[in-house]
Structure 1
Amino acid sequence: MSEPPPDSAVLQETNDRWLDRLFRTEAPRLARFIRRAVRNQDEVHDLVQETFVKLVASPPPARPHTPDAYLRQIAKGILWCRTHRAPLRAKAIHVPIDEAPDLATAPEQEWMIDAADFMRRYEQALSELPALTREVFRLSRQQDLTYSQISKELGITVRAVELHMKKALRYLDHRVNTDG
Structure 2
Amino acid sequence: MSDAPRDGALSPEATERWLDRLFRSEAPRLARYLRSAVNNQDEVHDLVQETFVKLVASPPPARPQTPQAYLLGVARHVLWRRRNRAPLWAKAVHVPIDEANDLAVAPEQEWMIDAADFMRRYETALAELPELTREVFRLSRQEDLTYSQISERLGITVRAVELQMLKAIRYLDHRVNSDD
User: Considering the TM-score relative to the shorter chain, is it more than 0.5?
Assistant: no
User: Normalising to structure 1: TM-score of the pair?
Assistant: 0.45
User: Normalising to structure 2: TM-score of the pair?
Assistant: 0.45
Q: Which has the higher contact order (CA 8 A, sep 6+)?
A: 2
State which structure, 1 or 2, has the greater radius of gyration over its C-alpha atoms.
2
